[in-house]
Amino acid sequence: MSGSPNGAWRIGVDTGGTFTDLVAVGPGGEVRLQKVASTPAEPARATFEALKRSQVDPRGEVDSFIMGTTIATNALIQRRGAPTVLITTAGFEDVLYIQRIDRQGLYDLQWIKAEPYVPRDRVVGVNERILADGSVRTPLARQELDRVIDEVRRITAHDQSPAVAVSLLFSYVNPIHEQELAAALQEALGGLPVSISSEVAPIWREYERSNTTAMDAYVKPIVANFAGDLLRELELLQMGGWHGLLRSNGGHVAIPDTPAKPVEIVLSGLAAGMIAGAHFARAVDSAKAVTLDMGGTSADVGVIVDGELQFSGLFEVEFGLPLALPILDVTTIGAGGGSIASIDSGGLLKVGPESAGAEPGPACYGLGGEAPTVTDANVVMGRLNPGYFLGGRMNLDAERARSAIDPVADRLGLTPEDTAEAIVSVSIENMDGAMRLVTVDRGLDYREFDLVAYGGAGPLHATEIARRMGMNRVIVPPNPGLVSAYGTVIADQRVDRRITLVRRLDHGESGDLPAALGRLADETVAELRSQLRRPEVPVDVTTYVACRYLGQNYEQEIRTEFGHVDRSFELAVPIGPEAADFVARLADGYHATHKASYGYEMRDQPIQSVYLGATALSETPEVLIRPYAGGGDGTARATRRVLAAAGQWTDALIVKRDTLATGETLDGPAVIEEADSTTWVPPGFRATVHESQCLIIARSDAEARP
Amino acid sequence: MTGPSKTGPAMTGTSSPGDGIDRVGLTLLYKRVRNICDEMAFAMMRTAYSPIFSEGLDFSTLVLDRRGRLIATAGINPAMLGASLYAATWIIREVGPENFAEGDIFVHNDPYRGGSHLPEHMMVAPVYSDGELAAFVGNIAHLAEIGGMAPGSFAATATDIFQEGLRIPPTKLFDRGEPVQDIWRIMLANHRTPNNSWGDLHAMVGSLRVGERRVGGLIAERGVDGLNEAFEQILDYAEAYMRSEIAALPDGIYTGEDCMEDDGISDRSYWIRSRIIVEGDELIFDYSKSDEQAVGPINAPYVVTLSASLNGLLYVLARDVPVNAGIVRPVKVVAPAGTITCVRLPGPCVGGQTEFQPRIMELVLGQILSQILPERAAAASGNTSLNFLFGGVDPRNGEYYAHYHFEGMGWGGRADSDGNSAQIVPHANCRNTPVEIFETKWPWVHEEYSLNDDTGGAGRHRGGLGVRRVMEVEGDVITVSALSERMKRSPWGLFGGHDGSRTALEVAPAGSDAYETFQDAFGLISPSKFTNIRLRRGDRVRITSPSGGGYGDPLERDPAKVLADVELGFVSRVSAESVYGVVLAGAPDDGLAVDEAATEALRRSMRDGVA
């Protein structure tokens, strides 16, 4: 399918730290791209500036306007959230300070533990207690409710836009006390936003759940304001269509619904890139792929299996500050174009994690940076064209790049050129290590995977990484630097919910599992239905049960098949004899999964469920984007001396990407340049232009694959 | 903290650019070997049974060369460094390299053969290439229950190693890929929770299989000899790194001492006396003047003393050095057999790893190296693992359980910052077990798990706070034991900082709020070390972990920080005045403020009082 449904515009915006990118796909597949400087103080401003420049008429036919935003991320990172009160079970008020008692660096005696989002004098303990089996040991008395309300009133008396988080022990088993507290607070202090842990993250491990709930409350007022600003502006523009924000789970949510559970948009910005990565993997029929979004300071790595992005239950904003929600499984490492090279005490070369960032940036930016970076190394190697950075909008200073590298070269006893090659190699090895962990930790063999590379710096390094790791093909989407904005255009609507339910599958106690799963699926679908952009569209729901052998502490998710849904949505909830069979099949599925991941199964060991999950999904129609006019006449080609490997200067073909035609091939060494990125094709590799306009890079001697 | 400024490393004659060493290739190879260790660690964490593995991460994974020398280890538990360096080598020497076969796995936990203490089991598997022995992979992990005189296998009143659990010399657990069933049966028959042991041992095996495959890939690329030559260079590199760091220290002899307060058997303390001799690019730890070995289990086998010494060094000297067998070359550790620093058979030693090791480590870095590197040292942390063991039959399912529990505590104040609160003892890096997992698994109900206010050692930089845990017995009977320290002597302050607070282990009988120490309640010799106390339903236990010592004079602490501490409740208003000399004005509800004039006057008079 090409273009937009109904011939209307689909507008996607990605607001990053440095740039705000807009992609608008119009009738017939027309694509408009905009890259403008971000306005961190008022994130909405750059968005509407980009929209204005794109010249899409907001009052015209607009199908959707969807944003990926870092507003919640930044509030957490920069600690600009709301003054928050935390209510805990009495005796456990220090949960956010105690954390998990480990540290980040093994030999880092100077390490400072992460500061909680809620300071200690804003924590209120409430006398109540629920036990592991859900029974009430200490009831929550009325006068206790009143006392807590008075405390909250006193603490927030002088606050501007405060928020409250409630996280009580074992609320994931029995939420009654949290619900009573929320209702009482609402009644007494109406308008005060309240987040309760049994709704935000009903999972065990009190620290992870409490911290996630505290984060939710902490970003709530800011996200609510932001959503309000957007809606007002959109109304002024009289923009039609569906208006959504991207969630950390890769789905999007209607802007007015965002403040209900704002912690869900913490990874909004990262999710956009991964969705697009998965889209382009599907476009070239890649079932298994690793996505690599490499920018200036960091690289985000995700995994695609069977064409689907993978999900994780845990993300750390910084070490010790976990966000325990189903989110797109992304690992961020400190490796980017700005990563700084240095020599360690033992005389060996080290690259990153320190970064020159956007300011002062690499030495070659000429903005005052003096430390040698990966970008400088690429300039010295001839792989980056100093005259065509950002399509020529910024000139790189090759001389500065070389002088920055000289001192390192002296220490290594190498030429500056070979030093540059070494810097890039070490940086690639850093990414290699992270990518191995991302796959192996999940029981996946990366040698069966393709690598989808984007972001400004991804395509420059991807083929070397894939070669080193023995991965399959490298896929470079069109406009690699704008891929995240594409992601917002094509994101689905999606709701994920999870509940903890610890049951032994070999006991009668698991009898309520199928019904609980059915209820969860119902609730998840109902939540999505309430937010749908088009009520008539079909909804899919998938369910899963996380299991482990009794005694293990980590679980694996088993997708369950019974929850099939027809397009009019009727969930088949298994009851009666079917339920018993379901549990047995679940056990079989777990044995098989454990064996596939770790090489052995333990048939005579009891299995225990840990949590149940459901995902409701409403798919957005695919859109095929063809940003390049094509050409293929061989014009604008040149050669340049490029360092292909240590000591090996060679003439590389230099091509502008928008001149390539579908099906055209290029043999490395070649450099493919475009305004927002550069792709390096090493000797021995061949790039082919796929009909999706992705570049597919594989070994020249590999069997040609479409 | 940044590394010391260096003009260039002393690469011991191999540093010239034309030496034929591919430095970049070496970096890349080392990173790959580290990645293999990390992959092995993930496999282990995710499949283990005991929370001390899976939540606590009390394990390490290793890649070793064909002679059994440590090439790399995953960054999990530094306490196992000594065993990582020596246990595998011991297995290979005792078994004989010619007696290995592809698919074999050896297990070993003997502290008299290079291990740390009985609960820590090492497994080693050879990696072959076309029938040629090419390398080894290994791991070390703390099994929660291995038999012996007390559930949890941390017998604080053991007087010989045979009371501490099942001792296994290097023994074949898998023979050419097949489990050696007789060995498995003997081991599991001697553990109180054989199911857990079975699962944990399998997690270790799975991790080795991951390592075998990945090292096999390296061999395919480089060949057996090529890989081992490169390994040699990685060892040389770590050696050079250490030498360069040591060379930057002023030559001299530096001394310090600290003690273990008792051994669980009698009420006497055992002193560790350390001399550090820095000479050029080499360094000697000399413990010859230490006390004779104890009757109880606080002794250290040699590798624990070595581990502690190296860890102390790495914390202040070379925290980025590749940790492998090369780092030991410029370092010598002298610990005569028969002293508390090198126990002689059949002395017990289970507590050496958890209590003695941090004591030596902080003696080295906090009391001794602080004399030459004050900006990188720290005051004493709570410095005990606060081992609390329990076991019994769970009334909810009739199954026997046992658990090895440890506690976070306060770290000592540092040159630039306060000590962290609720942090694991620095020689380990384990996590706590969440209350919700704790109570789901074992029949206890917590009443409190909180920070212990107003206890951090005062200083320019305050010691971190310890924690207080109060929990009630939900089973009919739970058998508890403890092996701890810092009940008679406080964690010390540094450079004028005050001492931190001490450990407490208390108990209140069902229905009573009258807590007394276990020592008083049960007539024990030691307040911190006891075994097999039977508690009944409704009895409550209160565990208080120690706080860290302060760094620098508390009268030099920024009054604004004292105010913040008072506002957050970390320090009381009374202590702010009496210890820090900071006078606060106002009422807590309306906002406190520092009364600058009164503070200055008070601090002046306090200083004069001291003078």
Express each pLDDT in A114-137 by its tens digit: 999 999 999 999 999 999 999 999
CA distance A578 to chain B (A): 27
Whether residues A398 and A540 fall in one domain: no
The overall average pLDDT reported for chain A is 85
Greatest mean pLDDT range, A320-334, A365-379, A516-530, B566-580: B566-580
Whether residues A660 and A593 fall in one domain: no
Whether residues A562 and A656 fall in one domain: no
B66-70: long-range contacts, CB 8 A cutoff, minimum separation 24: B66/B97, B66/B133, B66/B134, B66/B135, B66/B136, B66/B224, B66/B228, B67/B92, B68/B92, B68/B93, B68/B124, B68/B136, B69/B231, B69/B235, B69/B324, B69/B325, B70/B323, B70/B324, B70/B325
Q: What is the pLDDT of residue B363?
A: 92
Express each pLDDT in B56-82 by its tens digit: 677 899 999 999 999 999 866 788 888
Residue type, B268: R
* A296 has a pLDDT exceeding 70: yes
Express each pLDDT in A657-705 by its tens digit: 988 989 999 998 999 999 888 999 999 999 999 998 899 999 987 654 4
DSSP per-residue string spanning B17-83: TTS---HHHHHHHHHHHHHHHHHHHHHHHHH--SHHHHTT--EEEEEEETT--EEEE-SS-GGGHHH
Express each pLDDT in B342-366 by its tens digit: 999 999 999 999 999 999 999 998 8
Q: Do A131 and B439 touch (CB under 8 A)?
A: yes
Q: What is the pLDDT of residue B585?
A: 94
Considering only CB atoms, B320 lies closest to which of A109, A344, A602, namely A344
* A560 has a pLDDT exceeding 90: no
Q: What is the pLDDT of residue B22?
A: 67
User: Across A70-132, where does the E strand assignment appear?
Assistant: 84-89, 123-126, 129-130
* B3 has a pLDDT exceeding 60: no
* pLDDT band at residue B330 under the 50/70/90 scheme: very high
* B590 has a pLDDT exceeding 80: no
Whether residues A240 and A350 fall in one domain: no
User: CATH no. for residue A540?
Assistant: 3.30.1490
Whether residues A194 and A245 fall in one domain: yes
Whether residues A130 and A241 fall in one domain: yes
* pLDDT band at residue B576 under the 50/70/90 scheme: very high
Range of the domain at A680: 638-699
Please list the helix, strand and coil fractions of chain A in percent, rounded to the nearest 5, in that order. Answer: 35, 25, 35
Q: What is the pLDDT of residue A564?
A: 41
Express each pLDDT in A408-421 by its tens digit: 999 888 899 999 99
Whether residues A253 and A345 fall in one domain: no
Q: Do B199 and A413 touch (CB under 8 A)?
A: no
* pLDDT band at residue A574 under the 50/70/90 scheme: very low
- The encoded tokens of residue B413 equal 């104040």
Considering only CB atoms, A346 lies closest to which of B28, B237, B448, namely B237
- The encoded tokens of residue B497 equal 């900082």
**Structural domain contains residue A309:** no
CA distance B606 to chain A (A): 30
Q: What is the pLDDT of residue A209?
A: 96
Q: What is the pLDDT of residue A356?
A: 82
**Structural domain contains residue A224:** yes
Q: What is the pLDDT of residue A541?
A: 84
3-class SS of residue A569: coil
> ∠ CA(B260), CA(B264), CA(B267), 5° rounding?
70
B residues 451..480 contacting A (CB < 8 A): 451, 467, 470
**Structural domain contains residue A232:** yes
Q: Which residues of B touch A432 (CB under 8 A)?
A: 31-32, 35
Strand order in the sheet with A19-25: A31-37, A19-25, A9-15, A62-68, A242-246, A251-254, A492-504, A607-618, A540-549, A556-560
Burial class of B310 by CB neighbour count within 10 A (0 to 12, 13 to 18, 19+): buried
**Structural domain contains residue A334:** no
3-class SS of residue B229: helix
Mean pLDDT of B38-54: 79
Q: Which residues of A touch B315 (CB under 8 A)?
A: 107, 109
Mean pLDDT lowest among A63-77, A277-291, A462-476, B292-306: A63-77
**Domain count within chain A:** 4
Interface test with A, best of B435, B442, B452, B563 (most A CBs within 10 A): B435
Q: Do B435 and A206 touch (CB under 8 A)?
A: yes
CA distance B292 to chain A (A): 31
**Structural domain contains residue A348:** yes
Mean pLDDT of B277-303: 97
Mean pLDDT of A83-98: 98
Burial class of A42 by CB neighbour count within 10 A (0 to 12, 13 to 18, 19+): exposed
* Domain final residue, candidates A275, A290, A318: A275
Residue type, A347: G
CA distance linking residue A253 with residue B604, whole number of Å: 62
* Domain final residue, candidates A255, A275, A295: A275
B residues 390..419 contacting A (CB < 8 A): 408, 414-417
B2 vs A: CB within 8 A = no
Q: What is the pLDDT of residue A529?
A: 84
Phi, psi of A502 (to 5 degrees): -90, 110
Mean pLDDT lowest among A337-351, A563-577, B64-78, B456-470: A563-577
**Structural domain contains residue A148:** yes
Mean pLDDT lowest among A504-513, B123-132, B190-199: A504-513
8 Å CB contact between A265 and A242: no
**Structural domain contains residue A289:** no
Cis, bond preceding A416 (omega within 30 deg of 0)? no
How many A/B residue pairs have CB atoms within 8 Å? 231
Whether residues A89 and A144 fall in one domain: yes
ipTM score of complex: 0.90
**Structural domain contains residue A564:** yes
Whether residues A263 and A130 fall in one domain: yes
CA distance B238 to chain A (A): 7
Whether residues A179 and A100 fall in one domain: yes
* pLDDT band at residue B241 under the 50/70/90 scheme: very high
Q: Greater confidence, B16 or B382?
A: B382
Q: Do A345 and B9 touch (CB under 8 A)?
A: yes
- Residue in chain A lying closest to B407 (CA): A101
Whether residues A47 and A133 fall in one domain: yes
CA distance B249 to chain A (A): 14
* pLDDT band at residue B5 under the 50/70/90 scheme: very low
Q: pTM for this structure?
A: 0.85
Mean pLDDT lowest among A312-316, A626-630, B305-309, B486-490: A626-630
CA distance B94 to chain A (A): 30
Whether residues A70 and A215 fall in one domain: yes
* Domain final residue, candidates A275, A302, A329: A275
8 Å CB contact between A316 and A332: no
Interface test with B, best of A98, A155, A410 (most B CBs within 10 A): A98
